Structure 1
Amino acid sequence: MTSTDATVRADVLAVPHIVKGELVRGRARSYGRFVTPELDLDSLVWGRQELGPAFDVAVAEVIDLLDEVGRRLDPDTNPWLRDSLDQALRDARLSPRLIEYSYRGLGELFSRRSLEFQLESELGAYGSGGWVAQSDPWGGGHHIRAFPPRLAHVVAGNTPGTAAVTIVRGALTRGVNLMKLGSDDLLTASAILRTMAEVAPGHPTTKSFTAVYWRGGDAEIEGALFRPQYFDKIVAWGGEAAIRNALSYVGPGIELVAFDPKVSISLVGREAFASPEAMRESAVAAATDSALYNQNACASSRFIYAEGTPDELAPWCRMLAQELGVDRALSDGSGVPVPGEVRAAVEAARFLEPEFQVLGSLRTGVVVLSSAPVDFHPDGKVVNVVAVPSLDEAVSYVNVATQTIGIYPAARAPELRDRLAAAGMQRLVALGAVATKVPGVPHDGFYPLQRLVRWLVDDSG
């Protein structure tokens, strides 16, 4: 590998582009704290009249390549990944410990066992990529293919895993991929793609990826690129503004696959307060889920609906506030910044007893205990515990924006899961286990690989 080249000066980052597997450097465009090469829009697309580079590459060959890439995603030996990690440390979105953890876990996403499980779970017999014979009850025969797609990805940068997952899914579906980088993670995608190019220069999978930056919402650029003559689908991650912007380009021939903003919650039954041991177990589990990545993940719980009255729940909430102040594998016990508007809302709630009880410290974590959900978005390790007469009543607070629900005890899940699903919930786990999600299971209510490919049928005989 070559020496690092990410930083031009201490305060200006030179962001490289990857165009169809090739490194492009330059400083033609300035965005204040970073610069990028000029954009040649014609070079960022693949014509419809030609097959994509990897359309007919054997899936086993793709897995071999990705597995080797994963083995090289070690920031101690990969200078491009080290650049990305160091930049994340300078941006300080998370603590150094959590940033290191995130980057050191990227390789597993490319491991053979992960890739093979995803293909088997999400595409089954169609994961081979070829035409699969199928018979129908009327004696007819068909050939079905999960055809490689043409994808434009709008990539969020809250964790480096988003870029890694995007590359894995794009490679497994063997289509062509334009990645629009987010300003909060400018280097991870190029680091991974440069590693891929080192492993297999000129390989069809390597040539199937482009990763560039432009300012999100630039109608001149996006209006030229997000067209059905170039792409089948826009795959968008991010907040409401990013999703609505992507939606503006949806029309005949081009659709949206959205990983849109979600809110996760917890359900805590009376069993949690039956003994000191149960109280501690459930409080630790609730703190683990709420503080996940310092409440920066979609799966981080922000609202906890607990069976009981506020007076009955207060001792448990005090214990939960204490547990929020403990360092864990995926969260920091103290020093997590609290957004100004959330801080103001918490301070206001302190003066509204008995409607609210505010427990804990903004330095280590706060629990706001109330009889109805607060009207602000808890963040920065601020958790709203809502007293409910029963978990049945808590179902009314679930909607289509509810991603993950942690439940205690787990034995209560079967009685509630169908109603939770009908209300809009997408994932139900034991309290304390929201971080256990693995590739190959539904994500945001669907199997991503199934949504990314184009499902074609040949009925010619």
Structure 2
Amino acid sequence: MTATDGHRASAQLPTLSAPFFLRGRLYEGNDVTHRSRDLGVAFTTPAIDLDRAVHPRGEVPPLLDVPLAEIIDFLVETGVRIRDPRNPFVRDCIDRMTGTHTLPRAVLEAQVVGAAGYLDKRLLRTVVEQNFPDPRALDAWVPKADFTGRKSFVRAFAPRLIHVLPGNSPGVAVKSIAQGALVKAVNLFKMSSSDPFTTVAILRTMADIDPEHPVVASMSAVYWRGGDEAVERVLYRPQYFDRIVAWGGGDAISNVVKYLGPGFQLVSFDPKTSISMVGREAFACDKTRERAAELAASDVMVLNQEACVASRFLYVEGDRGDVDDFCARLHAHIADKAAASGDTRPLDMELREQIETLHLLDDDFRVWGRTDGTGVVIRSDEPVDFHPLNKVANVVRVDSLDDAVRGVNVATQTVGFYPFERITDYRDRLASRGAQRVVRLGEAGPSTIGNPHDAMYPLHRFVHWMAHEDGVR
């Protein structure tokens, strides 16, 4: 069976084509024409061979009996190959992605190559050890016994996963492939229209190392338009897959939810908004003022504010004069980082109009910068009613950081906090409001290896936990 969504390609083919990778084999073709979400650029793909995309339940997953240590070694070698500037698959991927993605080439290349740092032996071992109290369960049936003398065996059995990948960060493909391999899953990656290239480039790199390796046989990557029932009605079924691992916004999640039921569950990395909380200690002297602004700018500009951990709303404790001084310094640092990155995309028309309207209002708002992609800081007494992005920061003046806590909810991912010593006074309240992570201001980007992500240990959620009860002996 095959499925073709979008429009049939005309005789005049677009310049961009996106191949598929299905269980170890590359598929090329121009059967279907799609358009990228952000730029509206046309690209072509083969028709999806749905039979090939599904690994039959009657077949044991290819990675099941491969030792975890061997899988990690293969991932490490993949990381080395991704970082190799001569890698033809990565070079070709970047060439093509610059036509569909909003980020400039240098930023895309840095994200893809930089993400290969995740494929480090110590890092991967730590991730497994933090996710599983007894990692032996990934390799074997682990014997257990309770206080009554009843014995059993437990295994973290290889799951069947569909990954709905995001379009904002190509590096997520590297992490998702690694995580799927670590849990020995059968994996189907649904690529985004902004980036229908990176996942296949990584899988082609793996196949170039060893085309017969079980990791390669466990991986497939295709594209279809989200919500296309001709594809999703077939694939989103418990007889084929156990979990859908979804990154993305409301539309991406709503496309999935209607298919959920017994045996087919959702592990969701929902869109999140991150914030900063800056106490009045920042205004103790000129040095602390400058330092706090510099740290805050680092959090705003994580992946040029494309990442969920990037700060968008900054609650600053102080009078208006001090807060305005902070805003001016913050804007200068954002502008410097934007210039250094080479990413000076103009803001889209709707956001530009919303910001420019603020200039016409009273002193409740003040704006630093221009809407030309070089950075904007907005000072207000309440959060603005639009979503800051593309190097736009909303500084909200508060009399007390207690007032800032009221702006935290279940959609708040990371809170960057200054001064550091006050974090312990607030972390329980932040968790109670729904926040998932609190860090020192300036450290939103890096994360402690193996820590929970979006309030869960993902790999632990991915696997199919199986028990073999062996009675009392």
The TM tier, using the shorter chain, reads over 0.9
Q: What SS is found at the alignment partner of 1:405?
A: strand
Structure 2 equivalent of residue 69 of structure 1: 78
Q: What SS is found at the alignment partner of 2:83?
A: coil
Cα distance between partner residues in 2 of 1:290 and 1:26 = 41
CA, structure 1 residues 237+39, in 2 after alignment: closer, same or farther (shift >3 Å)? same
Out of 8, 22, 25, the position equivalent to 2:25 is 22
Cα distance between partner residues in 1 of 2:100 and 2:50 = 29
Out of 212, 221, 224, the position equivalent to 1:214 is 224
Deviation at 1:138, TM superposition (A): 3.0
Out of 394, 401, 409, the position equivalent to 1:399 is 409
Deviation at 1:157, TM superposition (A): 2.2
For residues 172-219 of structure 1, what are the alpha-carbon distances to aligned partners after superposition, in whole Å with 9 as ceiling and x for unaligned? Answer: 100101111111111111111111111121222210111111111101
Contact 1:75 1:82 in 2 (8 A): no
Deviation at 1:438, TM superposition (A): 5.2
Q: What SS is found at the alignment partner of 2:48?
A: coil
Contact 1:310 1:371 in 2 (8 A): no
Deviation at 1:443, TM superposition (A): 1.0
Matched, 1:320 2:320: no
Structure 2 equivalent of residue 201 of structure 1: 211
Structure 2 equivalent of residue 112 of structure 1: 121
Q: Could you tell me which amino acid in structure 2 is paired with residue 39 of structure 1?
A: I
Q: What SS is found at the alignment partner of 2:397?
A: strand
Cα distance between partner residues in 1 of 2:261 and 2:449 = 30
Contact 1:294 1:380 in 2 (8 A): yes
Q: Which is worse superposed, 430-439 or 333-342?
A: 333-342
Contact 1:141 1:459 in 2 (8 A): yes
Deviation at 1:9, TM superposition (A): 9.4
Q: Which is worse superposed, 444-453 or 20-29?
A: 20-29
Contact 1:324 1:333 in 2 (8 A): no
Aligned ranges 1:381-400 → 2 under 5 Å:
381-400=391-410
Matched, 1:293 2:300: no
Q: Could you tell me which amino acid in structure 2 is paired with residue 137 of structure 1?
A: F
Structure 1 equivalent of residue 172 of structure 2: 162
Structure 2 equivalent of residue 412 of structure 1: 422
Cα distance between partner residues in 1 of 2:332 and 2:292 = 13
Q: Could you tell me which amino acid in structure 2 is paired with residue 399 of structure 1?
A: N
For residues 267-292 of structure 1, what are the alpha-carbon distances to aligned partners after superposition, in whole Å with 9 as ceiling and x for unaligned? Answer: 00011111100000000011111122
Contact 1:326 1:333 in 2 (8 A): no
Cα distance between partner residues in 1 of 2:233 and 2:248 = 19
CA, structure 1 residues 200+184, in 2 after alignment: closer, same or farther (shift >3 Å)? same
For residues 229-257 of structure 1, what are the alpha-carbon distances to aligned partners after superposition, in whole Å with 9 as ceiling and x for unaligned? Answer: 00001111111110111111111110001
Gaps of 5+ in 2: 1-10, 36-41
Deviation at 1:339, TM superposition (A): 2.2
Contact 1:65 1:200 in 2 (8 A): no
Structure 1 equivalent of residue 380 of structure 2: 370
Q: Could you tell me which amino acid in structure 1 is paired with residue 186 of structure 2?
A: V
Matched, 1:275 2:278: no
Structure 1 equivalent of residue 38 of structure 2: none
CA, structure 1 residues 370+237, in 2 after alignment: closer, same or farther (shift >3 Å)? same
Deviation at 1:224, TM superposition (A): 0.5
RMSD: 1.9
For residues 105-161 of structure 1, what are the alpha-carbon distances to aligned partners after superposition, in whole Å with 9 as ceiling and x for unaligned? Answer: 132121212211111111131354321222323333332211110101111121221
Q: Which is worse superposed, 25-34 or 56-65?
A: 25-34
Structure 1 equivalent of residue 4 of structure 2: none
Q: Could you tell me which amino acid in structure 2 is paired with residue 108 of structure 1?
A: G
Contact 1:126 1:145 in 2 (8 A): no
Q: What SS is found at the alignment partner of 1:359?
A: strand
Q: Which is worse superposed, 262-271 or 354-363?
A: 354-363
Cα distance between partner residues in 2 of 1:82 and 1:439 = 29
Cα distance between partner residues in 2 of 1:348 and 1:204 = 57
TM-score, length-normalised on structure 1? 0.94
Cα distance between partner residues in 2 of 1:208 and 1:311 = 59
Q: Could you tell me which amino acid in structure 2 is paired with residue 84 of structure 1?
A: C
Contact 1:153 1:235 in 2 (8 A): yes
For residues 310-335 of structure 1, what are the alpha-carbon distances to aligned partners after superposition, in whole Å with 9 as ceiling and x for unaligned? Answer: 23311111111111111279x73772
Q: Could you tell me which amino acid in structure 2 is paired with residue 14 of structure 1?
A: S
Q: Could you tell me which amino acid in structure 1 is paired with residue 397 of structure 2?
A: A
Deviation at 1:57, TM superposition (A): 1.3
Q: Which is worse superposed, 54-63 or 331-340?
A: 331-340
Q: What percent of counterpart residues are identical?
A: 44
Cα distance between partner residues in 2 of 1:230 and 1:376 = 40
Q: Which is worse superposed, 105-114 or 206-215?
A: 105-114
Aligned ranges 1:132-171 → 2 under 5 Å:
132-171=142-181
Cα distance between partner residues in 1 of 2:337 and 2:365 = 27
Say how many residue pairs are matched.
453
Deviation at 1:90, TM superposition (A): 3.4
Q: What SS is found at the alignment partner of 1:205?
A: helix
TM-score, length-normalised on structure 2? 0.92
Matched, 1:88 2:97: yes
Q: Could you tell me which amino acid in structure 2 is paired with residue 408 of structure 1?
A: Y
Structure 2 equivalent of residue 97 of structure 1: 106
Cα distance between partner residues in 1 of 2:121 and 2:189 = 23
Cα distance between partner residues in 2 of 1:143 and 1:333 = 55
Out of 186, 195, 198, the position equivalent to 1:188 is 198
